């Protein structure tokens, strides 16, 4: 069995399963009746279906976990960070205005004294 991986929404997940059933060797006897031959075919199909189901289930679980983690991060942004931003900006604006004023004074002084 070989699992092929892919990435969706930034989540690495099993994309497909390639299952190759065992090959009967020439020395190995074939099933003695048709019921056993049909059972063998059924078991091969069941194993293939189980592997594909496991890969799809793992994909669904990984994507669901990523979606839950993303919801949690969005909730944290909305509750804590975004409300804090206007307060932080209001605190920073006077300092920025003061720095801009000082820079303007320096430029005028440099222009008046011929400094480049």
pLDDT for the residue numbered 94: 93
pLDDT value at 55 more than 80: yes
Residue among 88, 13, 106 nearest 3 (CA): 13
* C-alpha span between 34 and 39 (Å, rounded): 8
pLDDT value at 50 more than 90: yes
Structure tokens belonging to residue 56: 């799809």
pTM: 0.61
Cβ proximity of 50 and 17 under 8 Å? no
Residue among 12, 24, 17, 13 nearest 2 (CA): 17
* C-alpha span between 87 and 68 (Å, rounded): 29
- Quick: pLDDT tens for 72-84: 999 999 999 999 9
- pLDDT bin (cut points 50, 70, 90) of residue 37 is confident
pLDDT for the residue numbered 64: 94
Q: Map out the domains of the chain as residue ranges.
A: 2-112
pLDDT for the residue numbered 9: 81
Look-up of token digits 């969005």: 74
């Amino acid at each position: 069995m070989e699992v092929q991986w892919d990435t969706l929404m930034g989540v690495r997940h099993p994309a497909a399963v390639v299952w190759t059933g065992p090959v009967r060797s020439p020395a190995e006897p074939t099933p003695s009746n048709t019921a056993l031959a049909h059972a063998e075919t059924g078991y091969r199909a069941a194993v293939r279906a189980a592997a594909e189901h496991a890969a799809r289930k793992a994909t669904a679980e990984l994507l669901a976990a990523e979606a839950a983690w993303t919801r949690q991060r969005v909730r944290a942004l909305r509750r804590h960070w975004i409300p804090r931003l206007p307060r932080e900006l209001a605190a920073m604006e006077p300092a920025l205005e003061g720095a801009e004023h000082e820079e303007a004074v320096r430029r005028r002084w440099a222009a008046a004294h011929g400094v480049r």
